[in-house]
């Protein structure tokens, strides 16, 4: 029987600015003006009217130059940065008949609960995603406690199993993050993010700053997770090579706007927007 393709996440007009804005903002910022900061009021329009949908198990890539709003968009999806406008419609993948909910309309308690139960994030900088004074096991356990796990033995067992799954040395479960390498810390973040079996995994520059062999192993791990667990993912990277390897569809951001969206292969073969053309040609 052919399954009906349905979306899990539908982002609609998601907008975030830093500053109060002014009447001249609209005509002064965006890709056409080559800036995201209004010269009149200094407001940064970090993300403007972002819209896209995600199917279950799909990996969406987000590329764009530094400051184009990728992390801002991801933080909104993680419900940790408030949106100024827009909606994030979510449909429970295990229950397609249930009506979609707008995550941004949840009250603070429900939002936090949703984040703890259904979302996992790997931050661009490990120190944002990990508590450096806790042990590695403690960092994973914290996520489980937030998801209301209570049995200490079960928590420790799950933490050890996640370390095993992410190819971390389980015998170092009680060591603190500062004693781990960069590639290992990204794995610890992945282990933590996966702890409560999230429906949506958000990855922000998960391989940047890692040397090539370590990068290849982290990418393998992500591919395996996607394959084995059918986790829906949003993968932010400024590296087109990473996007090409993992993401079926991609959106390209510039100065807070999505300037191009489509199948990754098509975008790489036949980029439409001048910025994407530049990005693709400079990556060759």
| Binding residues vs Mg ion (CB under 5 A) | 71, 124
Helix (H, G, I), strand (E, B) or coil at 213: helix
Choose among Zn ion, ligand ATP, Mg ion, none what residue 186 binds, the Cβ cut-off being 5 to 8 Å by kind: none
- The DSSP code sequence of 134-178 is S-HHHHHHHHHHHTT---HHHHHHHHHHHHHHTT--GGGTTS-GG
Task: Output the smallest distance, CB 46 to Zn ion, in A.
Answer: 13
Choose among Zn ion, ligand ATP, Mg ion, none what residue 72 binds, the Cβ cut-off being 5 to 8 Å by kind: ligand ATP
Nearer to ligand ATP, 51 or 124 (CB): 124
Member of 25, 122, 210, 225 binding Zn ion (CB under 5 A): 25
Task: Output the smallest distance, CB 17 to Zn ion, in A.
Answer: 9
How many residues belong to the chain?
284
**150-177 exposure pattern, b = at least 16 Cβ within 10 A, e = fewer:** eeeeebeebbbebbebbbbeeebbeebb
Q: Is 136 in the site for Zn ion (CB under 5 A)?
A: no
Choose among ligand ATP, Mg ion, Zn ion, none what residue 40 binds, the Cβ cut-off being 5 to 8 Å by kind: Zn ion
Task: Output the smallest distance, CB 277 to Mg ion, in A.
Answer: 23
Those residues with Cβ within 8 angstroms of residue 23's Cβ, 6 or more apart along the chain or in another chain: none
Choose among ligand ATP, Mg ion, Zn ion, none what residue 64 binds, the Cβ cut-off being 5 to 8 Å by kind: ligand ATP
The CA distance from 73 to 58, in Å, is 18
The CA distance from 79 to 76, in Å, is 5
Task: Output the smallest distance, CB 14 to ligand ATP, in A.
Answer: 12
Residues that bind ligand ATP (CB under 6 A): 18, 36, 44, 46, 64, 66-72, 124, 238
Q: With contact defined as beta carbons under 8 Å apart, do 214 and 246 qualify? A: no
Q: Which two tokens stand for residue 274?
A: 């001048």
Choose among Zn ion, Mg ion, ligand ATP, none what residue 68 binds, the Cβ cut-off being 5 to 8 Å by kind: ligand ATP
Q: Is 233 in the site for Zn ion (CB under 5 A)?
A: no
Q: Is 40 in the site for Zn ion (CB under 5 A)?
A: yes
């Amino acid at each position: 029987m052919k399954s009906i393709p349905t979306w899990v996440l539908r982002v609609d007009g998601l907008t975030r600015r830093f500053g109060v804005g002014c009447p001249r903002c609209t005509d002064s910022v965006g890709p056409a003006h080559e800036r995201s900061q209004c010269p009149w009021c200094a407001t940064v329009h970090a993300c403007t009217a972002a819209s896209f949908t995600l199917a279950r198990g799909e990996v969406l890539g987000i590329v764009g130059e530094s400051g184009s709003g990728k992390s801002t968009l991801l933080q909104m999806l993680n419900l940790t940065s408030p949106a100024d406008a827009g909606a994030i419609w979510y449909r429970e993948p295990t229950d397609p008949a249930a009506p979609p909910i707008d995550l941004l309309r949840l009250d603070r308690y429900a939002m936090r609960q949703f984040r703890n139960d259904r979302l996992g994030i790997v931050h661009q900088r490990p120190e944002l995603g990990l508590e450096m004074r806790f042990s590695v096991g403690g960092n994973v356990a914290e996520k489980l406690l937030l998801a209301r796990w209570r049995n200490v033995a079960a928590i420790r067992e799950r933490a050890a199993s996640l370390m095993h799954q992410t190819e971390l040395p389980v015998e170092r479960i009680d060591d603190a993050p500062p004693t781990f390498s960069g590639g290992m810390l990204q794995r610890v973040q992945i282990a933590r993010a996966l702890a409560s079996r999230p429906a949506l995994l958000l990855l922000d520059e998960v391989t940047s700053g890692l040397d090539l062999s370590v990068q290849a192993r982290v990418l393998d791990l992500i591919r395996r997770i996607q394959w084995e667990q059918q986790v829906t993912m949003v993968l932010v990277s400024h590296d087109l090579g990473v996007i090409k390897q993992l993401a079926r569809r991609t959106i390209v951001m510039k100065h807070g706007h999505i300037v191009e969206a489509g199948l990754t292969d098509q975008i790489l073969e036949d980029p439409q927007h001048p910025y994407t053309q530049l990005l693709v040609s400079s990556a060759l």
